[in-house]
Amino acid sequence: MAKPNITLVQGDITEQDMDAVVNAANSSLLGGGGVDGAIHRKGGPEILAECRRLRAGHYGRGLATGQAVATTAGRLPARWVIHTVGPVWNPGEDRSVLLASCHRESLRVARELGARTVAFPAISTGVYRWPIDDAARIAVQTLREEGEGFEELRFVLFNKQAYDAFAAAL
Ligand code: ADP
């Protein structure tokens, strides 16, 4: 299969016209700040309603770090939101495997849905404080290794510093 087509844009993940957009969620699945806040704000209450149903069903204890699960994208241009929980940066413990897992599991869920195009934010680099250069390296490497067969995998970076870090990693 063809090598994944990995693209970069500086912008807002809620505005991406892709099959699926990945949310840097928290394990409660019930909303937060950053990307999560923007997705629920713009996507509308349908997304949260589906997250609540997930919590009432298979995800009674929430979504574990490194895992991913899909919901509708509500009013966003995308069809699906894939929620994943990034690891909190901890200088005393290497949690790279968990950050890679977020990307790998999101791709697995996207494949199951039949998504051909997927947008990712810079998971864990906001409130969870992961250094942007290191997060970019892990994200790019994982999409390269695991992203075969997709038409486009797009990183959507909110500011120039993040964009430059991902451009360097790519
Ligand atoms: P985490 O809790 O995983 O760190 P955050 O949402 O706090 O997640 O931040 C992840 C990254 O997403 C940060 O680099 C932040 O600047 C960026 N970000 C915040 N809002 C948006 C948005 N609307 N679109 C794309 N990226 C965003």
- Catalytic annotation present for 36: yes
Q: Do 8 and 166 form a contact (C-beta atoms < 8 A)? A: yes
16, 20, 76 from 10: Cα distances, Å: 11, 17, 18
116 Cα–ligand 1 center, Å: 23
Q: What is the number of other CB atoms lying within 10 angstroms of the CB of residue 77?
A: 13
- In this structure, are strands 80-85 and 20-25 parallel, antiparallel, or unpaired? parallel
Ligand 1 and 84: CB distance under 6 A: no
- For residue 162 and ligand 1, the question of a CB distance below 6 A is answered with yes
Residue of 69, 56, 50, 149 lying closest to 113 (CA atoms): 69
Annotation: CATH topology of 6-169: Leucine Aminopeptidase, subunit E; domain 1 (3.40.220)
86 lines ligand 1 (CB under 6 A): yes
Residues 97-130 have pLDDT tens digits of: 999 999 999 999 999 999 999 999 999 999 999 9
Query: Which percentage of the chain shows pLDDT scores above 90?
Result: 96
Q: 35 in ligand 1 pocket by Cβ < 6 Å?
A: yes
Q: Out of 12, 17, 36, 164, pick the active-site residue.
A: 36
Residue closest via CA to ligand 1's atom 15 equals 126
| ipTM, two decimals | 0.99
Q: Which pLDDT belongs to residue 1?
A: 57
pLDDT band for position 3 (50/70/90)? confident
